[in-house]
Structure 1
Amino acid sequence: MTIRRLTPKDLSAYRAIWAEGLMRVPTAFLFGAEEVRAIPNKDIEKALQTHLTFGAFDEASRIQGFISARRGGPRRMRHMADIGPLYVRDTAQGQGLGRALVEAMLQELARNGVLQAELCVDVENTRAQALYKSMGFHVFGRRPRSVLVDGGPRDDFLMIRALDETDLTRDA
């Protein structure tokens, strides 16, 4: 597998895997499928240029997974980044691809001066929680009704990891 930053040239592959993820695991995404379909290509191309999105590609150059992150906007929040979503195709799961994508993202964020990475994960997604915990993230809160999926409320755990060795668990 090859992991690299996605560019506007990857638009079709990115849209396809994003749509697949929305169909298979709608609770892992903030946007719904209809909302994603309504986003113009030019807006997604701009996001690929301004936000970090990495893709994992197999030997045949087919995308098998992706991860995104957005750095805090105001100067006072530029030390942190929000990670997500992370999605790996079923056929590529169990091969360490999710871990490799998260690690690549964390390394890039640290290289760019980000001090902490944060994410939200559905409280029922124990597999993703285990991955994140094994990579040094810890839960620092729970957001009730974080999203409504098909009209039903879903809670998220809020997770955080320091990228500079600071102990963020001291007050937890």
Structure 2
Amino acid sequence: MLRPMTEADLPEVMAIEQATFPLDAWSEGMMRGELAEMPRTRHYVVALVDGEIVAYAGLAAAADQADVQTIAVLERHQGAGIGSAMLTALLAEAGRRGAREIFLEVRADNPRAQAVYRHFGFEEIGTRRRYYDDGTDAIMMRRGLGD
């Protein structure tokens, strides 16, 4: 089940953030800043399994452009379609907000995530060298909405 993220979710969300992105996790302050922009320019959701938050995702949207800010799924729940369900929800929200295209960055060393994004119609448009804190490159991807 997906629902909007709230500040009350932050302890569980931050634990997932640390577990999923140990080398470049966002701080709680950064996440609070994102939530402070809901619903104006941000849309964050959490995914629950048996009442436990097991994943979260976020979108930034302004004018006719949107960006997937983050998607994180606890390792033991990966491969169950949760990430795809959240990405589907983000794409739908971007469309509701009038976005004509959506962008994201994905780690160059994460072929599994890259494959998911390609499955959803994202195409590689460039590379951001040493984008992540540990020096890993980011692959920039784009998808038109309505494509």
Task: Report if the CA contact (8 A) 2:13-2:55 is conserved.
Answer: no
In structure 2, which of residues 63, 67, 81 is the aligned counterpart of residue 96 of structure 1? Answer: 81
TM-score normalised by L of structure 1? 0.76
Under a length normalisation based on structure 2, what TM-score does the superposition of the two structures give?
0.87
Segments of structure 1 that go 5 or more residues without pairing to the other structure are 27-31, 73-77, 166-172
Larger radius of gyration between Structure 1 and Structure 2:
1
List alignment gaps of at least 5 residues for structure 2. none
Which of the numbers 81, 86, 89 marks the counterpart of 2:66?
A: 81
Q: Following the alignment from structure 2 to structure 1, what is the Cα–Cα distance between the partners of residues 133 and 31?
A: 26
Does structure 1 residue 162 correspond to structure 2 residue 144? Answer: yes
CA contact (8 A) 2:20 2:75 kept: no
Segments of 4+ moved more than 6 angstroms: none
More helix by share: 1
Q: How large is the RMSD of aligned CA atoms in angstroms?
A: 2.1
Change (3 A) 1:87 1:40: closer
Query: Is 1:57 matched up with 2:56?
Result: no
Distance 2:31 2:144 in 1: 34
Retained in 2: the 8 A contact 1:7–1:48?
no
Question: Residue 134 of structure 1 corresponds to which residue in structure 2?
Answer: 119
Judged with a 3 Å threshold, the aligned counterparts in structure 2 of structure 1 residues 163 and 17 are, in CA distance, closer, same or farther, namely same
Greater Cα shift, 135-144 or 13-22: 13-22
Shift of 1:5: 1.4
Partner residue in 2 for 1:69: 59
- The aligned amino acid for 1:104 is A
Q: CA deviation at 1:161?
A: 0.5
Change in Cα spacing, 1:161 to 1:41, as seen in structure 2 (3 Å) is closer
Instruction: Quote the sequence identity (%).
Output: 27
Aligned partners of 1:118 and 1:161 also within 8 Å: yes
Change (3 A) 1:123 1:58: same
Q: CA deviation at 1:135?
A: 0.5
Q: Tell me how far apart the structure 2 counterparts of residues 158 and 21 of structure 1 sit (CA, whole Å).
A: 20
Distance 2:82 2:11 in 1: 21
Q: Tell me what 1:125 maps to.
A: 110
